[in-house]
Amino acid sequence: MTDLAESILNADRRALARAITLVESTRADHREAAQALLAELAGHGRQALRIGLSGTPGVGKSTFIESFGLMLADAGLKIAVLAVDPSSARTGGSILGDKTRMERLSRHANAFIRPSPSQSHLGGVARRTREAVALCEAAGFDVVLIETVGVGQSETVVAELSDIFVLLLAPAGGDELQGVKRGIMEAADLIVVNKADGELKSTATRTCADYAGALRLLRARPQDAPGFPKAMTASALHEAGLGAVWDEIRALANWRREKGHWNERRAAQARHWFAEEVKQALLAVLDTPEARARMAALAESVARGTLAPGAAARQMVSTLAGGSAALDAPRESA
């Protein structure tokens, strides 16, 4: 076993940080080393509770993670916070910033916060985050909180990476109501309406009841314990309701462990990521400037209706097989 692997298993934070930097790298030799490290660490048997957390800007997500994380860390649990943000390449900044966003939590001995690196390709983001989660589990964390800013398909990625998915909402009604992005509500195991304090308290209660009603209209999944998915209120600012949130998360996690859903879901997620990686490797031929240019030209003919999607696909595949013709004009219908 290498020193790095051993240090991680011994919960060495610096080694963990170095290993995450390794899995984040796209350099071929780093990828080799990362794969070898992950293979060494496979089968250590440690499992963290992976909590996915989504919420749009303005819901008080940083405050929630700080208060919630401190509560767990103070209780002696080791908590790691990771972020999925495919947009960070675009905005140029990490959503976890320079950790100043969660200053108290980042200084806690039981907490480990990893800012989101800049990388725009969602496939890369998914792989990197999945591997970082595996490293945190090897390092013996009890809870890994995976945060998503909710851009593009990032919630889908986080839902496929987590054991429990929590959706954080802000109190709102009437005209202020922005509504939830499609695809998020249905992934939620728990909806937490934050900012249930002061003037917003009654609005938060109403918002919570609205979403509880909406959740009842979704068909129950096998992994839904009785009463789940559930909506509740909390105030991260006043540190109120956070214990109840943790109780619900633990109750659901325990129920899933007892009923076998926990292991089933982990196995299904692993299979999913394996199949995804195979697909991405096979589709990598599309990831060259020539292939992208050819795809774009054909897509334009298809969008104009002068070329059928099937015929365009044939042209693309024959281009790839011939390894040429990026500059050919699309052959539209006669």
Q: Which residues bind its own copies (CB under 8 A)?
A: 35, 38-40, 42-43, 127, 130-131, 134, 177-183, 185-186, 210-211, 213-214, 216-221, 266-268, 270-271, 273-279, 281-283, 285-286, 295, 298-299, 302-314, 316-317, 320, 332-334
Of 196, 167, 162, the residue nearest 179 (C-alpha): 167
CB of 244 to its own copies, least distance (A): 22
Measured from the CB atom, the residue of 106 and 319 that comes closer to its own copies is 319
User: Please, how many CA atoms are within 13 Å of residue 39, restricted to the half-sphere of its CB?
Assistant: 6
Measured from the CB atom, the residue of 244 and 317 that comes closer to its own copies is 317
User: Please, how many CA atoms are within 13 Å of residue 43, restricted to the half-sphere of its CB?
Assistant: 2
Measured from the CB atom, the residue of 97 and 183 that comes closer to its own copies is 183
Measured from the CB atom, the residue of 118 and 156 that comes closer to its own copies is 156
CB of 236 to its own copies, least distance (A): 22
CB of 57 to its own copies, least distance (A): 14
Q: What would the two tokens of residue 184 be? A: 């998020």
CB of 71 to its own copies, least distance (A): 29
Measured from the CB atom, the residue of 17 and 286 that comes closer to its own copies is 286
CB of 65 to its own copies, least distance (A): 23
Measured from the CB atom, the residue of 75 and 220 that comes closer to its own copies is 220
Q: What would the two tokens of residue 102 be? A: 């969660």
Of 304, 305, 334, 302, the residue nearest 314 (C-alpha): 302
Phi, psi of 219 (to 5 degrees): -70, 140
Measured from the CB atom, the residue of 94 and 119 that comes closer to its own copies is 119
Of 219, 220, 248, 218, the residue nearest 232 (C-alpha): 248
Determine contact, residues 137/80, Cβ cutoff 8 Å.
no
CB of 304 to its own copies, least distance (A): 8
| Cβ density class 258-269: b for 16+ within 10 Å, e for less | eeebbeebeeeb
Residues 242, 220: Cα–Cα separation, whole Å: 25
CB of 223 to its own copies, least distance (A): 12
User: Please, how many CA atoms are within 13 Å of residue 297, restricted to the half-sphere of its CB?
Assistant: 17
